[in-house]
A and B are shown apart, each in its own frame.
Chain A
Amino acid sequence: MEELILQLKKEIIEVLNLEDIKPEDIDENASLFGEGLGLDSIDALELIVLMEKNYGIRLKDPNEGKAIFKSIAVMADYISKNRTK
């Protein structure tokens, strides 16, 4: 799980252009939206693409994302249980 969390951090930094942020700067239990990394609605849509592209998980309803993208830890847990690649 540690490995997946680190990988996810790297992928999120890259795909969301979080320049000047390193994986160790991100608390995997902190909120991704609002307070935490301050991501917005377009970032959420980009995370949906990331889930499908890298892990073969397709979310039909973007609203499902709200619970899954709560934090990196929650996301990693969901991916480990549902990934198809």
Chain B
Amino acid sequence: MVVKLADNIYSPLGVTTRANYDAVMEGRCALRQYALPDGSLYTASLFPDAERRDDDHYTFFEQLCIASASDALTRADVDPRSPDVRFFLSTTKGNVHLLRAQGEVDERVLLGASARVICRFFGNPNPPVVVSNACISGLSAQIVAVRSLEAGYCTTAVVIGCDVQSDFIISGFQSLHALSPDECRPFDRDRCGLNLGEAAATIVYSGQCPVGSGQWVVRGGAMCNDANHISGPSRTGEGSYRCLQALNLRTDELAFVSVHGTSTLYNDEMESIALERAGLSSVPVFSLKGVYGHTMGAAGVLETILSMKAVEHGVVFGTRGFENKGVTGDVLVSAEPRKTDKQNFVKLLSGFGGCNAAMLFEKFRECKGVQESAGKSRECSEWPVVSLQLEMRTEELVEMYRSHIGDYPKFFKMDPLSRLGFVASELLLKKVASEADGQLNTEHLTLNTEFGVLLFNRSGSLADDRAYVATTEGEDRFPSPSLFVYTLPNIVTGEIAIRNHFLTETNFIVLEKLDEEVMAEQIALAAERGPQIAGWCEVDATGQCSAMLLAVPQHISKERILRELRN
């Protein structure tokens, strides 16, 4: 069983979990109104400018990660130099403020390089795993960490969630008309957009510690794409609903659901529908966005920690900013805090690229019979592992699309990374169809085999990030909403899910370099849940594309995947 050892929240409201919990209970928040260059107003929860400094060794983003993880590690009494400790970093944009449209790319813009700097500070020898799965990153990283602990790939996992705000992100959300000028109002009828926020939060988990009464354990986690649209959630809440279903919840044991509640029109509506469909109308829900704003990569970690604190104090938080219900789903949301004596809660998130995630946490009381042992992989030999490799320039992808695919005009709207992932996955699926045992044809596979999608790379969405930055530079600036949407690397997994109607787990991991060992581990863990399209999908700063994708069946061993990746 995976147990929480310690945690930390480092936000504009305080630099410890305790300080943050107290601030929330006292009704404080750090949301302030700011003006954009064009004069329009937005509200955000930001650190003071005086603190926002990159120093000679560490960027502000890295300083926050280090400060948060240092406090959590001290409390956990864990030596981060041990090879049994692994770092999992959840972030959407890391040091993107260092990116310019032209010229050399600062290495630290790459999430893997920045994560390495953080690991080096702690003397940790292992390659960091950066989960960049849009707004659900904080839960995706916890799920990936928990699985790694359960599989014995490490004994301690340090999960850090962090994002800082910059012109890149703020102008992007503004171009999407997603920012509220005033404090946001989750689930309210007058809600008109989100507030951005910045924070770092850390949870240290152990996979070997004996569980004592009162400790927090992870009871389950699920991710599911809704295959609807890269920036618009499913109107039926399909992805979130499926995540909640997968957790096999007992509503009478749930203190609350800590929802995403971004205060955008579509997110809150979608969540209310998913919650009602999952039979959770009688369970209290709250959103913390009216206190912290949307802290992006930190949100899943920060909101999990605060929810644990709330249960420990027998409290269900109120939803700051909520007044009159403005969603159609039947949900129990309130502005005021309430009391609870329940010991379990659910954390729910959803994000661009169609991704959704939910986790179930329990304040441990007693042993509930024998733990279901994960069991070693039952290797499935019936299916061949199909692989596909592509090396080409971004310009050549169009030719590849025209000659081999040609029936999906949306391809031309995609950024280079999504184009590469799309072309490679299409060719891979054609290959699966032709290499499989003859009973399968492409149509059959597309309609009936639901692959999860797990992609890795080094440069994230760098090519599109630079194209977007170009629209924000200069006096004549018109930030492009369509370019901004693709500045999340996981959008490619969403494009593949949408094309193939995969209502499955989708995730994106950034590594410092192509690392077959880490990839094989994570692909095998994901494949425990179902067949996967997985592998390397990289577009570098020069426009060189490189894809190495596998189609693997469920229950495949890490060793088998490693062999395929090294072939």
Binding site for B on A (CB under 8 A): 16-20, 40-43, 45-46, 48-49, 52-53, 62
Contact = CB atoms under 8 A, between A and B. Distances in A.
Interface string B187-210: 000000000000000000000000
In terms of DSSP, what is the predominant structure of the interface of chain A? helix
B369 interface: no
B407 to A, nearest CB: 11
Given A45-B481, A46-B481, A49-B480, 16 more contacts: A16-B413, A17-B413, A19-B409, A20-B409, A40-B229, A41-B231, A41-B232, A42-B231, A43-B482, A45-B175, A45-B482, A46-B482, A48-B177, A49-B175, A49-B481, A53-B476
The size bracket of the interface on B is 10 to 19
Contacts of A43: 482
14 contacts: A19-B409, A20-B412, A40-B229, A40-B232, A42-B230, A42-B481, A42-B482, A45-B177, A46-B480, A46-B481, A46-B482, A49-B478, A49-B480, A52-B478
Interface of B: 175-177, 229-232, 409, 412-413, 476, 478-482, 485
A40 B476 CA distance: 26
Contact of B177 (A16, A17, A62): A62
Most buried by B among A40, A42, A53: A42
Contacts of B229: 40-41
In terms of DSSP, what is the predominant structure of the interface of chain B? loop
A43 B409 CA distance: 14
A46 B481 CA distance: 6
B102 to A, nearest CB: 21
B531 to A, nearest CB: 29
Contacts of A53: 476, 478
A17 B479 CA distance: 17
Contacts of A20: 409, 412
B478 A45 contact: no
Contacts of A41: 229, 231-232
B41 to A, nearest CB: 12
A75 B485 CA distance: 25
B472 to A, nearest CB: 12
Contacts of B232: 40-41
Nearest to B176: A45
A18 B481 CA distance: 16
Contacts of A42: 176, 230-231, 481-482, 485
A20 to B, nearest CB: 7
A19 B413 CA distance: 9
Identify the 10 closest CB pairs spanning chains A and B, nearest first: A19-B412, A45-B481, A17-B412, A62-B177, A53-B478, A17-B413, A46-B482, A42-B482, A49-B478, A42-B481
A46 B229 CA distance: 16
A45 B445 CA distance: 35
Contacts of A45: 175-177, 481-482
A20 B411 CA distance: 12
A53 B476 CA distance: 8
A16 B414 CA distance: 11
Most buried by A among B479, B482, B485: B482
A43 B231 CA distance: 11
